[in-house]
Amino acid sequence: MKKLLLLIFMAVGFSQMVLCEEPVVLPSQVPLTCSYSDDATYKKGIKRAPVKCPIAYLEGNNISFPAFASDCTFEVVDASTEEKVFCQYISASETSCQLPAGLSGEYIIRFVFGQYELEGYIAL
């Protein structure tokens, strides 16, 4: 009985604590898929591709991602017209990138490496 009362008081206390706090806006996840530019040259196995595709996070106009092992080019492409709207060089140590303020709509983001690219879709 004591355990049940303790559990009830903990639940009530936690719910009061949650109700008093301001809502937290979490960044939205952008799952990235991996594609290869030329599969014909990799007949003996594809090398240096990630084992698990990483996830980028979009918060406002800031996109954050895990640090990559090598440098890459970050591209933002309009999803409807396939026009490249933004391009930036990303060094291996960088973990975020600020997108231009005037972007609105649906876009494809790409991290382009030498033999493969990571791609995801965002809506601003």
Segment 25-69, tens digit of pLDDT: 678 899 888 887 665 555 566 556 556 778 999 998 899 998 888
Confidence of residue 8 (pLDDT cuts 50, 70, 90): confident
Whether 77 shows a pLDDT value over 90: the answer reads: yes
pTM exceeds 0.85 for this model: no
Range with the largest mean pLDDT of 2-6, 17-21, 40-44, 103-107: 103-107
Token output for 61: 């106009």
Domain boundaries, the chain: 25-123
Does residue 78 sit in helix, strand or coil? strand
Token output for 106: 């649906």
The CATH code of the domain at 25-123 is 2.60.40.3080
Whether 110 shows a pLDDT value over 90: the answer reads: yes
